[in-house]
Structure 1
Amino acid sequence: MDVEELLKCLETLGIHLNTKSDIQGSYLGVLEEVSIKIQKVSRNLNGFNETTSAIEIQCYERYLSSLSLLIIRENTSYVMHLLRLLQKRIKFYAKFCCHRISKENYEKIIGIIKICKRIENDMRHKKSYFGENHDFWILLYRIIKYENILRIQCGMYLDNE
């Protein structure tokens, strides 16, 4: 699940982000900055030939590696921000919609459960991407917890019909 899919999930839950928010703005700024730097490097790489030293090539490799790490770090913090927003909205539905499950709410809760399952499946496959990020695992656990609460509530609604 990429950033765009997370944004769509947020919209489904009724959260519309301002595209110029601080976090999204800094994320897009970093992407733009790195893109410009990579374009400059690619122009320099075109000038490489047999006389280019191994040390110079290693220097460029380290530089490109550092740019990749910068993008990964910024992307991780942005994904974490979006997951926090999703978790808060899912928590809201789990806590406050349990006693008022109308047919409209039921459809919305089913949609939320599908979103939770999608997040859970996708994020479990990205274990290496998030690595030892303790906050990520807490968020994922909470999303799964609230998904289970919503499943129980929907099951109770079905039994009452």
Structure 2
Amino acid sequence: MELCNMKMRQLTIIVVLALRCVVGYGQNAQEVSTAIFRLEVSGRLDSLDALLDPRMVFSALDGRIESRDQYLQRLKGGNFMHNSIEVEESNEVVAENTAIVTGKGTFVVTVSGTKTSLHLSYIEVFVRPEPAGAWKLIALKATPLNK
């Protein structure tokens, strides 16, 4: 019986380590960026929260700088919603524990009840605080593009 318990513990440790590797290395920052967009559109903000670094800053189109908590609060407040996000191009550059994702896309948002389509370029900076950890968004900046 004790041998069975020991083998079960070993198997559990192997499974946990394997899952940790899949979560940490299974997604690149570009895939995390796509996941963030999907979560914003679907309104699954609790899941979005887990992908944002506690030190995250967002530089808004109007020049305001928001903290992670302010950004999440704005999304939760219902006055600002992502209706759809269509990425036209996306590129990733990785340097050790930092990744930069740049891209362009069309962001359909509702602000104060008014639906608007925005053609934007964006830059996202991701960090991986631990080598086996997941990528976390630490900075986001969007800029309007002329059509």
Q: TM-score, normalised by structure 1?
A: 0.29
Structure showing greater radius of gyration is 1
User: Which one has a larger percent helix, Structure 1 or Structure 2?
Assistant: 1
User: Which one has a larger percent strand, Structure 1 or Structure 2?
Assistant: 2
Higher RCO (CA < 8 A, seq sep 6+): 1
Q: TM-score, normalised by structure 2?
A: 0.31
